[in-house]
Amino acid sequence: NAGVTQTPKFQVLKTGQSMTLQCAQDMNHNSMYWYRQDPGMGLRLIYYSASEGTTDKGEVPNGYNVSRLNKREFSLRLESAAPSQTSVYFCASSEAGGLSQYFGPGTRLTVT
Amino acid sequence: DAKTTQPNSMESNEEEPVHLPCNHSTISGTDYIHWYRQLPSQGPEYVIHGLTSNVNNRMASLAIAEDRKSSTLILHRATLRDAAVYYCILRDNYQLIWGAGTKLIIKP
């Protein structure tokens, strides 16, 4: 099993450009999450999907949109990137209830 | 939201036990206590979680105070591979509230 996979691993954007971060899990988990981590900080939840067909805002949703494409895939879109969105983005999944989250390797995004 | 307080960093010798403290004085009755760790340049890794009773698994033990206002993650025999940032986190429904964690330094 690959666990949680994320693409791309690295990305550089110019201010105002858009992009979609992809995440997939093969553990048949119901819940999926998108976090961002700024240098020296803990993770902050952007959006989560408790189950297929549902999405909810987390702590820092502004500037982002998400799509739960199916049970396996959960994408994060930046419509108009800003330098403040420079960060490492992590996707995670868990069985229902948020316990024992499994994380992907992260996407390092730089917005210039 | 209930928050946790952890020391910024701790040092330990290899092959000795490590006790990582966490204070969560505003914890509610339904908050689970989670511990994750993050090795350099990697995603976080689940370590252990508990609600009221002490918990053991193959990675670590979690000791929870009787009043639940503090907890301690115990690594029974630290190795160099345990050098990481350890996060003590409370779960609020689906949301994990992350602090800055404790950087654990293991000395050979």
Contact state of A44 with B98 under an 8 Å Cβ cutoff:
yes
Which of A40, A43, A48 is opposite residue B44, by nearest beta carbon? A43
Helix %, strand %, coil % of chain A (to 5) = 5, 50, 45
Query: What is the pLDDT confidence band of residue B28, given thresholds at 50, 70 and 90?
Result: confident
| pLDDT of amino acid B60 | 95
Closest residue in B to A45 (Cα) is B95
Residues 6+ apart with CB under 8 A from B1: B90, B92, B97
| pLDDT of amino acid B106 | 96
Is the per-residue pLDDT at B45 higher than 90? yes
Give dist(CA A45, CA A23) in Å, integer: 15
Contact state of B44 with A97 under an 8 Å Cβ cutoff:
no
Report which residue type is found at B73. L
| pLDDT of amino acid B44 | 94
Distances (CA, A) of A15 to B51, B65, B72: 44, 48, 44
Distances (CA, A) of B17 to A70, B14, B34, B35, B55: 44, 8, 20, 17, 16
Is the per-residue pLDDT at A98 higher than 90? no
Measure A99 CA to nearest chain B CA, in Å.
Answer: 8
| pLDDT of amino acid A64 | 98
Query: What is the pLDDT confidence band of residue B98, given thresholds at 50, 70 and 90?
Result: confident
pLDDT tens-digit series, residues A22-76: 999 999 999 999 999 998 888 999 999 999 999 999 999 999 999 999 999 999 9
Choose among A95, A94, A79, A74: nearest CA to A23: A74
Give dist(CA A4, CA A51) in Å, integer: 16
Using the structure block, give the residue that is written with the tokens 């010798």.
Answer: B13
Tokens of A92: 């995670």
What is the pLDDT averaged over residues B25-52?
91
Is the per-residue pLDDT at A1 higher than 90? no
Is the per-residue pLDDT at B2 higher than 70? no
Contact state of A42 with B32 under an 8 Å Cβ cutoff:
no
Q: What are phi and psi of B28, to 5 degrees?
A: -95, 170
- DSSP letter assigned to residue B81: G
